[in-house]
């Protein structure tokens, strides 16, 4: 699903999860970055999916690849 840049991450996620209802029943865990924090509870309560946030270490100064962050 492609959305315009004017759609907040959490709102775009909700649109995707609503479209997944009844599809992909084995998809239970979704990894996301901190931009999706506001949607964690919604994903569990209304979509039955676990949204696990992958956060960068507090002391990180430069760009590094984080585990699971860019898995598609």
29: confidence class by pLDDT, cuts 50, 70, 90? very high
pTM, rounded to two decimals: 0.73
pLDDT digits (tens, 9 = 90+) for 42-69: 999 988 999 999 888 888 878 777 777 6
Burial 32-61 (b: 16+ CB within 10 A, else e): beeebeebbebbeeebebebeeeeeeeeee
What value does the mean pLDDT take over residues 18-39?
Answer: 89
Mean pLDDT over each residue of the chain, to the nearest integer:
86
């Amino acid at each position: 699903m492609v959305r315009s840049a004017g759609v907040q991450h959490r709102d775009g996620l909700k649109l995707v999860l609503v479209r997944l209802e009844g599809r992909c029943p084995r998809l239970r865990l979704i990894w996301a970055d901190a931009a999706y924090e506001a949607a964690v509870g919604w994903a569990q309560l209304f979509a039955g999916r676990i949204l696990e946030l992958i956060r960068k270490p507090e002391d990180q100064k430069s760009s590094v690849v984080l585990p699971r962050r860019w898995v598609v």
